[in-house]
Amino acid sequence: MLKYIFQRIAFAILTLIVISIFVYVLVSVFGSNPLRSYAEAEYPKISRNNPNLTFDAYLQNLELERGIRYAVIDAGGNSIPGAKIPVLIRYFAYIGGVFRGEFGDVLNPANNPDPEQYRTLPQLFFIPLRNTTFITLPSMLLSLVIGIGLGIFAGYKRGKLIDSSINVFVLIFVALPSFIIAPLAIAIGVKLGILPVVPRFEDESFGTIFVAYLPPIIVSTLSSLAGGVILTRNMVITVLTSNYVLIAKTKGLSETQIFFKYVLRNSFIPLFGLIFGSFLGLLSGSVIIEQYWGIKGTSQVILNGFSTGEINVIMFSTLFFTLIGLFAAILVDLAYLILDPRITYTSKSKRNYTMFFKAYLERRRLEKELFATQIKKQGGVNGA
């Protein structure tokens, strides 16, 4: 078991490295250059004091300061911009800084919405994350409680009117995207006297902010409800029609005993993996909700980072969410072992890939021989 955990950790580290390289290379090669945007804004001011400085030279100096270009020493002993540093070398320099606790900063200061509040890149990410968590955490809990409850009820009433009604209710919110539900929720909230924009914690009382957060929480809950309902319903139906439940009924166990001993536990095991996936999805995918209610959350930071090419912001968010997701996957595997003792993890796979490869080569050889034999037979028949 311990060896399996170490294998999963090693695989998680490898996955994290591959994803980080992939994202860094793509953004560096195909993303926009935030330093160019900064140079376009600042060059007219700089050129007044230094008319001989060209725009390209100014941009190259900025790239030299940010570690994107090599420094070349000219004849006068001055450091001037050279060729661009290869992307992979810049990636390993970035990763080395991450291990030292240096995550870089925003390349274009104009892309920092509040330099006084967000003085470091982790602050730029984690302070808005607080606002996002105030939506995602209650939404996840509500969607799981309501989804599991409706799924169990629909599973017990399968084929009846209430089952069909629950399925239609869930499918409505699957078909309606958030950008349609959100304006309706805002309009209803305004009629009820709820602020259409979520205020900052410094500006309003706790009660006002709590009420203002209710509409986005409800919309987020309804949008993420379907997975829990459908999966729970299917699992309840599977458990209720299984042989061990039928045997339990013949032994005289009551419906309540069967529910707590068999249905609830066996239905909850697959749902455990849904909990972390639902939370990560809500945490990183609430762009529409944050946009409509004016919430300064992490989704806005990530979206602005990709649109402006702020590679340090993109890499920090990628590493954070990937690390959380991989850790959650390992935690789910361990939870399965606790919830269901029948599950065992082997330290070594029983599959012998060398034998599989040899068998594949042998099959290919036999196919070629059979094909050649058929060609010879056809040639003999045509010759006759």
Q: Residue 314: its pLDDT value, please?
A: 93
Region of poorest pLDDT, from 27-36, 48-57, 173-182:
173-182
Q: What is the distance between the alpha carbons of residues 293 and 49, in angstroms, rounded to a whole number?
A: 44
Residue 89 and residue 74 in contact, taking contact as beta carbons nearer than 8 Å: no
Residue 23 and residue 364 in contact, taking contact as beta carbons nearer than 8 Å: no
Q: Residue 348: its pLDDT value, please?
A: 53
Q: Residue 283: its pLDDT value, please?
A: 66
Higher pLDDT, 332 or 232: 232
**What is the tens place of the pLDDT at every residue in 345-369?**
555 555 555 666 677 677 777 767 7
In this predicted structure, the answer to whether residue 70 has a pLDDT above a threshold of 60 is yes
Q: Residue 260: its pLDDT value, please?
A: 84
Model confidence at 243, in pLDDT bands (50, 70, 90)? Answer: confident
Quote the pTM value: 0.77
**What is the tens place of the pLDDT at every residue in 250-271?**
888 888 888 888 888 777 776 7
Q: Residue 73: its pLDDT value, please?
A: 76
Task: Please state whether 341 falls in left (phi above 0), alpha (psi between -120 and 50) or beta.
Answer: alpha
Q: What is the distance between the alpha carbons of residues 115 and 106, in angstroms, rounded to a whole number?
A: 10
Residue 186 and residue 295 in contact, taking contact as beta carbons nearer than 8 Å: no
Residue 61 and residue 84 in contact, taking contact as beta carbons nearer than 8 Å: no
Alpha carbon dihedral 349, 351, 357, 360, in 10-degree steps, equals -160
Q: What is the distance between the alpha carbons of residues 105 and 15, in angstroms, rounded to a whole number?
A: 25
**What is the tens place of the pLDDT at every residue in 106-157?**
988 888 888 888 889 999 989 888 888 888 889 888 988 898 899 999 999 9
Paired residues of 215 in beta bridges: none
Q: What is the distance between the alpha carbons of residues 56 and 336, in angstroms, rounded to a whole number?
A: 58
Residue in 282, 267, 296 with CA at minimum distance from that of residue 324: 282
In this predicted structure, the answer to whether residue 105 has a pLDDT above a threshold of 70 is yes
Q: Residue 381: its pLDDT value, please?
A: 46
Q: Residue 310: its pLDDT value, please?
A: 92
Give me the percent of the chain exceeding a pLDDT of 90: 18
Residue in 289, 284, 287 with CA at minimum distance from that of residue 322: 284
**C-alpha 55 chain-centroid distance:** 39
Structure tokens at 264: 């609830």
Backbone φ and ψ for 82, nearest 5 degrees, come out as: -110, -150
Instruction: Looking at mean pLDDT, say which of 1-10, 206-215, 309-318 comes out highest.
Output: 309-318
